[in-house]
Structure 1
């Protein structure tokens, strides 16, 4: 015993410190020493020894295994720390990326995988991310990765986890990839459509049925067929989606469709004959059109033949023309009968006109010599007409009209029998001559008429002036009327002599009374002028009265007597004295106008200076507005210069106004563009994005310059109304979202209460599984809720899951213990080779153990010791030596062959030995202690 202790290796020394120092001398590269290190790491009872051995082995796999199986808290914590430091380190010298990737694919630790999922290198590999998510079965972890990733492939794969409107809206708002945004929008549209699909299908189907019902009143066969085919197709499309409707609705729609189809089929049978008759009419009209075109082409050919030298037309050409005319006439006659049968009266008239034209041409070709003679006479008539001189005086009108009438009658007599064949050239020559004569006569006649009308109207004006007491104006106008009267032709003078005589008599009467009227009035008017000279009145009133007095003096006329000449001279002197204050005032006004002119010239110089400066458009607007305000503030100038100066001012400002106009127009165009964009935003379904864009448009609006004043407010009102629509939709959307979130929150609370109640009342594993069967639905509801609403529920869910996990472990342990209780109860009663009947209550693998044969060869005693070693259950002192041998064998098998024994397998082998004899009851009790505490 002493020698055994003396030659014992240091790594087997009872003192932990000796074993730790021995570990430093061992090498993990030598297989035998590596086995020793394995044994010390996993089976040494001292924590420090195990940690020293693990550090010496320096194997990530061993650390991870120890983290999984270690019973000692310190070892487990240290192993977990090493594993995490290795996996979460960016240094590839510690552990290569490929090794990490392989580990992730093999790892079953959900908590570790969940932490690894947040690593950057993991999120760069879509396959790895999807693998982890599939194991964790936590869809809520996918969305943050989706939103933070820039990999389209990964985002597209993770998009399957975004299965509600809230998460999809986040994706659409935050992702920069147009491809992913499009996929999210499509998926969102499908989700939204699925909510309203039954409404849309029902609405669309009813619309189709309504339109089919309206077709019963349709009398256009072509429309009936086309629209019915279109509606049948649409009904087929909607019927393919009838699964979303109730059976009653499906039966209702199918019944209505069948009934309407039957009625439309009857209507189709009624309208088809009418349609075919109309089709026949259309085809007949096509034939009429073709015959018309063909006949018109023939008429052109016949006309061209006759438009040249008729003497050159041969007999063969004449016969061919008559044959063609006959053929066309026969075709037209046949069509006339058909159009008459179907009642196409307009086509019938058209064909009759063509037939008449052909018959006229046939008449010409049948009388070709007479036609040639008529053409010669027509040419001679044109020569004769040309030889007559055009009328040039009013007196020539009476002789020219009979000549023109005679020429027109002779031409009509020659042309009438051959109207359609008459050469256009001859017609044009005669028409030109006729129009020239007619225009000349019209011109001469209109001149005389104008003179007569002028004379009569002005003679009436003379009478009107006399009646109004305006004698001087009447005498002046009568002088002109006299000249116009004597300029009229003698015939017209005789016709209007009475009117002229009446006006002349009235004028003579006025002249005789003029001296009588003027004598008493002029002295009285002189007294008024004297009073005005000393009157204290305003300049404007004085000027007005001077003007009035001059007018009244002038109306009294001039008598051409010495007394009248003297009083006229006196009036001129006095009226000038009365006007003197006005003249002085007007001179001052003239000086002001000169000053105003200088100021305006200065502004024109400022405009010229401004033209030489390079300034921005908005600055030009301000400058021009200032110049315009100054120009308007300056008073009047000399009226003789006003127009010229204003034109110069307008010309000087014109380039600036054009530039400002273009500037305003550009700004208006930009604002109209923003208005259109704002209007378009009101029609988009992505209201949140639309609001953001509306805010951007408002900022752009502020940056755009002004427009014309009359446009500014209307444009702003339009832009504001367009934005109000967008924000109103956002408000409505927010209300809807709030309602939806409230409803979803209520559903989530109810769902959580159900799960909570189910977990508390669950008494079996299956009931616990059923209790959280709706967790996926609950997670989906939480994902769709705002964070404020979902945080509390998520916290409660985690607590409930922990409670369920604890209860599940307790139930599994209880079930396992109960199963072992039943198993060992049966083993205690199993004394005969016959298999007990009550093993049917045991799990199937235990039942098979009763029926199987032990092939391992190990006796029950050794199996019992192995179970006690594996379960760390003490053995009787009598088995101490055998227990150590078995322990060494277990270690050797594990280190050399990698064999690890499972206590369930050993128990099956124990049972396979058969009935438990009386002497083995003690072994059964020892075995039972390994499974039932």
Structure 2
């Protein structure tokens, strides 16, 4: 027996450890055949597994998975890894067969998300038939995969949920689908309402009587009807609406035909009126042309022009008489005018003599000499007036129809002469006006008793009066004589009346000189009053009056002497006041000069206002001095104010720009954005200086009004949204409450799934999402409870069937791996953490190691697979021991 194996190759040796040693020494390239034989035919599963691992040939692993029940699970794990890792050594046939027949759901799921073949991924997702996987693959996939998944997306109605994840054209197709879905929901109602509106308008058109309006609106409504998408309606509604349209359209056509007849009649009448108006216009134009021809008398009286004009007027009479509307009053009147013109043309020979006489008188008028100076003015004007009257008298012998051009000619000559003498006449009239004014002033002063002033004004009148010619003096001569007589009388009376007054005033001055320690202001007032009274006595003309005037002046100087020191002090105070005000003026000028470098216009304005207050509170001055300095201060103040106003205007312009930007936000439909823009503009507004009292208030009110309006709109929109959200929240709350009531009464898985779908499709507002999620969680718990109950019932039925020899059809299936019933039961006990018999602890340990390797390779089996594997490999009826073990697993 020993010699039997002496010449046997070590890889065929019956002892396991010798074959293992030989296996380790074999070369994969040189001993491939031996390794293949050992991998497929060796009696030890361990040797076969080691040989397969050393060859690492996926084809051999595939053969082993089909023929070697002990290595099937491990071989399939190798194939699974190759499939998942896209190993190029794996043939397409093996890969496809594995995927189609043997790959578990987990592998299929991984391939569906990781494989490079888009078609295979779609095929596997369709095979897995899990909406959540399809949704996940679509979200994570590129546009190509998304397009391939469109069919499944439509099958599971995931378009709305996946729209935001779609890319490129796929997104457009989903949007188009959802839009079409939306249109299918809303268009029937819209089309129905549109059809009703068009039919109502068609019916209402029959009440209108304006043919053009009815025709235009009817065409528009028919076009609208043609564009109406009736295909959104049911067949019955389409037929009903078409029947109504045909009926109303027929009635409207009849109404239009009647209106068209009336319209054509009106048009004919209008055409006739236009023809009559054209005839009247022709008549008026003809008369105007003929009158224009007859206006030039000189041309009519020369050559053959008169014959030509008479022929043209006769032709016009014939044309108007033969016109179809010759009976119109306007044409008859035109014919009468033309007849009168014909008569006047016939009387022209007689007129020629009168015109010649007018021309002679007109030549005389033209030859009137123009005055060279004021001494010739009166005679020249008189000669021209006589010649003008003679020429004007000749016009009365000329027919009115031919008088107009001669009158114009005469007026032109008169105007030309007036323009020639205008420099002299203007001076005379201005002097005459001034003289009249002074004469009237003199008369008024005499009536007021102001005789001294009246004498002075009368002298001015005499000076003006003597510059006038005799013709221009004539209107003032009566007034001149009257005033001269009155003033002579007053002068005689004044000499008589003022003699006692002069003596009295001299006595009062002497008393004033004798007074001791007078009050300066009082003495100055007394001196001023005495001088006024003395002046009222008139001018000194006699030697006695001259002596009295000299004595008065001497005494008045003595009376005023005590006041000189007081007024000298006043002069000093005046000089100080002038200096103070000049300093204010200089400060204002300096302020104006610094305007170019000003950075703080508010401080500048404060200085400006302070200087104005200082000027107001400065010491008082006499009127003349004050007026002079006030003019200088006003010039400096205006210059500073212009600088300040420039700053105001600049600020106003900036604020006007901000106001324009703010007003632009009135049309911004995004109210939140508009409010943010206005807040920024408010900050900018605050950074701009004062714009002047008038502009600042006006601009601010306008800017504030825009802000109030926009913020008011946003508040109104917010209130509206809040109200809409409240209404929507109330409606959605009612909907959720209705679903909640259904959830309380749910009893089957189908009902739970239906309610879950309603909740998933329901898109509540944010405050209700927690309630939605809570309801979904409760339903999921209910589903789990029902599924567990259903599963437990199935397990109970399964346990009952295992005591018999008949296994329920629903549990019959080919095991995913070739394992013994005991191995399947051990796997089930490991997965459910159920205890195994003490005698099987070693096997349980080995099985745990194998399951860990499978888990690491991605070929892990679940509880359900182990249950099916066990019940399909166990020999029925099972023993009481296995029954108790299996039951313990199902109850975990």
Q: Work out whether the TM-score is over 0.5.
A: yes
Q: Alpha-carbon deviation of 1:308?
A: 5.8
In structure 2, the partner of 1:54 is: 80
Instruction: For 1:370-519, list aligned pairs within 5 A.
Output: 377-389=357-369, 392-394=376-378, 400-414=384-398, 416=400, 418-419=402-403, 429-437=409-417, 458=438, 461-462=441-442, 464-466=444-446, 468-481=448-461, 489=470, 492=475, 495-496=478-479, 497-498=481-482, 500-502=484-486, 504-519=488-503
SS in 2 for 1:55: helix
Query: Which one has more relative contact order, counting CA pairs under 8 Å at least 6 apart?
Result: 2
Aligned mate of 1:324, from 296, 299, 312: 312
Match of 2:142 in 1: 122
Structure 1 pair 359/871, CA: closer, same or farther in 2 (3 Å)? same
- Alignment of 1:137 onto 2:137: no
Out of 571, 574, 590, the residue aligned to residue 589 of structure 1 is 574
> Are 2:709 and 1:725 aligned?
yes
Whole-angstrom distance in 1 between the partners of 2:567 and 2:144: 100
1:472 positional shift: 3.2
Q: 1:673 aligns to what?
A: 660
Report the counterpart of residue 281 of structure 1 in structure 2: 273
Which segment drifts farther, 276-285 or 258-267? 258-267
Q: Contact (CA 8 Å) 1:762, 1:768: kept in 2 or not?
A: yes
Deviations 1:784-829 (A, max 9, x none): x3x3x24214413533663686589689999999xx9xxx9xxxxx
List per-residue Cα deviations over 1:106-165 (Å, max 9, x = no partner): 67543344444554x63798747967754663466446548xxxx78676556569989x
Query: 1:677/1:601 Cα in 2 relative to 1: closer, same or farther (>3 Å)?
Result: same
The alignment status of 1:111 with 2:132, answered yes or no, reads: yes
**What's the TM-score once normalised by structure 2's chain length?**
0.63
User: Which of 716, 720, 723 lines up with 1:739 in the alignment?
Assistant: 723
| Rounded Cα–Cα distance in structure 2 between residues aligned with 1:336 and 1:518 | 104
Q: Check the 8 A contact 1:604/1:649 in 2, yes or no.
A: yes
Distance 1:732 1:334, change over 3 A: farther
How far apart in 1 are the matches of 2:259 and 2:579? 93
Q: 1:568 aligns with which of 549, 553, 556?
A: 553
Shift of 1:735: 1.8
Superposition pairs for residues 18-33 of structure 1, below 5 Å?
21=50, 24-28=53-57, 30-33=58-61
Shift in alpha-carbon separation, 1:51–1:513, aligned structure 2, 3 A: farther
- Contact conserved, 1:212 with 1:260, CA < 8 A, in 2? yes
2:777 to 793, 799, 822: 799
Seen in structure 2, the aligned counterparts of structure 1 residues 806 and 99 have a Cα distance that, compared at 3 Å, is same
Within 5 A, what are the aligned runs for 1:734-813? 734-758=718-742, 761=745, 771=755, 778-779=762-763, 782=764, 785=765, 787=766, 789-796=767-774, 798-799=776-777, 802=780
What pairs up with 1:84-103 in 2 under 5 angstroms?
Answer: 87=114
Partner-residue secondary structure (3-state), 1:413: coil
Deviation per residue, 1:820-846 (Å, 9 max, x gap): 9xxx9xxxxxxxxxxxxxxxxxxxxxx
Counterparts of 1:139 and 1:192, CA distance in 2: 18
Given that residues 125 and 133 in structure 2 are in contact (C-alpha distance below 8 angstroms), is that contact kept between their aligned partners in structure 1? no
Give the deviation of 1:743 after TM superposition. 1.9
In 2, Cα distance between the equivalents of 1:4 and 1:700?
A: 99
Q: Which residue in 2 is equivalent to 1:172?
A: none
Of 102-111 and 259-268, more deviation after overlay is shown by: 259-268
Cα displacement (A) at 1:327 = 3.0
Structure 1 residues 871 and 156: CA distance shift in structure 2, 3 A = closer
Larger Rg: 2
Structure 1 residue aligned with 2:826: none
- Say what the alpha-carbon RMSD is for the aligned residues: 6.4
| CA pair 412-438 structure 1, distance change in 2 beyond 3 A | farther
Q: Report deviation, 1:286.
A: 3.4
Shift of 1:677: 0.8
Compared CA separation, residues 481 and 138, structure 1 to 2 (3 A): same
What are the Cα deviations for residues 162-208 of structure 1, in whole angstroms up to 9, with x where unaligned? 989xxxxxxxxxxxxxxxxxxxxxx99x9999999999999999999
Aligned equivalents of 1:134, 1:39: Cα separation in 2? 43
Tell me how far apart the structure 1 counterparts of residues 254 and 133 of structure 2 sit (CA, whole Å). 69
Distance 1:324 1:369 in 2: 19
Aligned to 2:851: none
Query: Is the CA contact (8 Å cut-off) linking 2:520 and 2:562 kept in structure 1?
Result: no
Unmatched 5+ stretches in structure 1: 88-94, 165-186, 216-220, 342-347, 825-860, 878-921, 923-933
- 1:727 Cα deviation after fit: 1.9
1:385 deviates by 1.4
Deviations 1:20-79 (A, max 9, x none): 655533535x53433435888999567xx76555335544698999999988xxx95xx5
Q: Distance in 1 between matches of 2:280 and 2:600?
A: 71
- Structure 1 residues 25-424: aligned runs within 5 Å: 25-28=54-57, 30-36=58-64, 44=72, 51=77, 54-55=80-81, 58-59=84-85, 76=106, 87=114, 108-119=129-140, 122=142, 127=147, 134=154, 137-138=157-158, 141-142=161-162, 145=165, 224-225=210-211, 277=269, 280-293=272-285, 296=288, 311=302, 313-314=303-304, 320-333=308-321, 340=328, 348=330, 355=335, 358-359=338-339, 362-363=342-343, 366=346, 377-389=357-369, 392-394=376-378, 400-414=384-398, 416=400, 418-419=402-403
Partner SS state of residue 707, structure 1: coil
For each residue in 1:522-572, what CA deviation from the matched residue of structure 2 results, as whole angstroms up to 9, or x when unmatched?
6547767998974387xxx99888766654554455653434432332223
Maintained 8 Å contact 1:288/1:335: no
Kindly indicate whether the alpha-carbon contact (under 8 Å) linking 2:509 and 2:552 is maintained by their aligned counterparts in 1. no
Q: Return the offset for 1:738.
A: 1.7
Moved more, 868-877 or 395-404: 868-877
Q: Would you say the 8 A contact 1:325–1:362 is kept in 2?
A: yes
1:127 and 1:579 map into 2 onto residues whose CA distance is 118
How many Å separate the matches in 1 of 2:69 and 2:679?
Answer: 67
Q: 1:414 to 1:57 in 2, by over 3 A?
A: closer
Q: Using the TM superposition, name which of 384-393 and 135-144 deviates more.
A: 135-144
Distance change in 2, residues 1:591/1:499 (3 Å): closer
| CA-to-aligned-CA distance 1:468-488 (integer Å, 9 cap, x gap) | 454433343344455567777
> Does the C-alpha gap of structure 1 residues 33 and 772 become closer, same or farther in structure 2, counting only changes over 3 Å?
closer
1:520 matched to 2:520? The reply is no
